[in-house]
Amino acid sequence: MILPLLPSFSLKGKRALVTGASSGIGQACAAAMAQSGAKVICAARGIDLLDKTVSAINSNGYDAEALVLDQTDLFALEKVMEKPYDIVINSAGMARHSPAFDTTPENFDAVMNLNLRSAYFLSVYAAKAMKASKISGSIIHISSQMGHVGGIDRTVYSSSKHAIEGMVKSMAIEWGSFDIRINTICPTFIRTPLTEKTFENIEMAQLINQKIKLGRIGEVEDIMGAAVYLASDASSMVTGTHMIIDGGWTAG
């Protein structure tokens, strides 16, 4: 009997671009790509934390370089994407939480500009370069469990993430014939430098602990395996969908 062989999770020989790579989930995704064998271009707006991330990856024997990029600058983004990548992970994002009654047009536009508009065109530019180079590529967006449920004071953020989920489905349909896959990863609350203030709010921390059925806050390491899976040949039949990493939050 000839048994089927497990598809490879290795990313050796692949080039990966990770945005928002200077900290948090983006940094973890960059590390995961590098540890799986990819050459990683780590992109973010600020150079200081970005350099520290790249230095840490390289000092551990992996291959990374820094790219200063404001991805809301679509001209700069398009130039970066002229060079094709095998894997593109978009982890750049922001939130400005408030009750819906208190949302200002400025805050709405800021969130949508980064979370949706730049994500849309990053996907388009990446896919165009993949298609032109006949690359079987994988595009991954770090979305959120809030792309599948609602939340108090999260109306604008949740709107942007619900939009990403619909965007990915339509793009997957358009680009499937080019063997370009696009998916999302949807985390629950993950412990990062940006979320520490949330956990300092006792009432909010209690609500989070009640909602996460596994009984703990998510860590960036919880995202890394999903990123490698969606980037690798192991997920070659997966497109237009999402991986929810929420400890059971949305199951309830």
Domains of the chain: 15-245 (3.40.50.720)
Assign 202 a pLDDT band (cuts: 50, 70, 90): confident
Write down the pLDDT at residue 33.
98
**Secondary structure (DSSP) of the chain:** -PPPPPPP---TT-EEEEESTTSHHHHHHHHHHHHTT-EEEEEES-HHHHHHHHHHHHHTT-EEEEEE--TT-HHHHHHHTTS--SEEEE---------GGG--HHHHHHHHIIIIIIHHHHHHHHHHHHHHTT---EEEEE--GGGTS--TT-HHHHHHHHHHHHHHHHHHHHHGGGT-EEEEEEE-SB--TTTHHHHHSHHHHHHHHHH-TTSS-B-THHHHHHHHHHHSGGGTT--S-EEEESTTTTT-
pLDDT digits (tens, 9 = 90+) for 127-144: 999 999 999 999 999 999
| In the chain, % of residues over pLDDT 70 | 100
Average pLDDT of 49-68? 98
Residue 31 confidence (pLDDT) above 90? yes
Options 62, 125, 157, 229, the catalytic residue:
157
Write down the pLDDT at residue 108.
98
Tell me if residue 157 is catalytic. Answer: yes
| In the chain, % of residues over pLDDT 90 | 90
